[in-house]
Chains A and B, each alone.
Chain A
Amino acid sequence: MPAEARSDGRIVIVGASLAGLRAAETLRDEGFSGELTLVGEEPHPPYDRPPLTKQVLLGRVRADDVGLPRRRAVEARWKLGVRASGLDLYGKKVLLANGEQLPFDRLLIATGTRARPWPDPDAARLDGVFTVRTRDDAGRLAERFAAGPRRVLVIGAGFTGSEIASACRERGIEVTVAERGPAPLVGALGGTLGAFAARMQRAHGVDLRCGVTVTGLKGADGRLTGAELSDGGRIDADIAVIALGAVRNTEWLAGSGLAAGPRGVACDAGCRAFDMYGIVTDDIFVAGDVARFPHPLFEYQMLSLEHWGNAVAQAEVAAHNMISSGPHRRPHLTVPAFWSSQFGLNIKSIGVPTFSDQVVVAQGSPEEGRLVAVYGYRGRVTAAVSVNRAKWLEHYRRLIETAAPFPPGPGAADRPESAEPVPSDVPDPKVLSHGPTVALTGHLPDRRLTLVRPGG
Chain B
Amino acid sequence: MTGGAERGADRAGMQIVVDLNRCQGYAQCAFLAPQVFQLHGEEALTYAPAVPDDQLERVRGAATACPVQAILAGEQAGADAG
**Contact surface of A with B, Cβ cutoff 8 Å:** 16, 21, 38, 45-46, 48, 50-51, 54-55, 60-62, 65-73, 78, 80, 308-309, 312, 337-339, 341, 343-346, 348, 370, 388, 390-391
The answer to whether B25 and A346 have CB atoms under 8 Å apart is: yes
Inter-chain contact A69/B14, CB cutoff 8 Å: yes
Q: How many chain B residues have a CB neighbour from A under 8 Å?
A: 35
User: Could you tell me the dominant secondary structure of chain A's interface residues?
Assistant: mixed
Residues of chain B having any CB pair with chain A under 8 Å: 1, 4, 7, 14-17, 19-21, 23-25, 40-50, 72-82
Question: Chain A nearest CB: distance from B11 CB in Å?
Answer: 14
A346–B38 CA distance with the chains assembled, in angstroms: 13
Interface residue from A51, A68, A346 paired with B41 (Cβ < 8 Å): A346
| Residue among A16, A68, A71, A388 with the highest chain B CB neighbour number at 10 A | A68
A contact residues around B78 at 8 Å (CB)? 16, 21, 38, 45-46, 70, 78, 80
Beyond A67-B77, A70-B76, is A48–B17 a contact (Cβ under 8 Å)? yes
A65: chain B residues at CB < 8 Å are 48-50
Given the known interface contacts A60-B46, A67-B49, A70-B4, the answer about A391 and B24 at a Cβ–Cβ threshold of 8 Å is yes
CA separation between A45 and B13, bound complex, in Å? 14
CB-CB < 8 A to B76: which residues of A?
Answer: 45, 67-70
With both chains docked as a complex, state the minimum distance between the C-beta of A296 and any C-beta of chain B, in angstroms: 20
Residues of A within 8 A of B44 (CB): 341, 344-346
Rounded to whole angstroms, the CA-CA distance of A343 and B16 in the bound complex is: 24
B49 contacts A71, C-beta separation under 8 Å: no
Q: How far is the CA of A393 from the CA of B15 in the complex (A)?
A: 28
Q: Provide 11 A-B residue pairs closer than 8 Å at the C-beta atoms, listed in order of the A residue.
A: A46-B78, A50-B20, A51-B46, A60-B46, A60-B48, A70-B4, A71-B4, A308-B20, A341-B41, A343-B41, A390-B25
B40 contacts which of A72, A341, A390 (Cβ < 8 Å)?
A: A341
* Docked-complex contact B42 and A344, CB < 8 angstroms: yes
Q: Is the CB of A308 within 8 A of B21?
A: yes
Please indicate the chain A residues that have their CB under 8 angstroms from the CB of B79 in the complex.
45, 70
CB-nearest residue of chain B to A81: B81
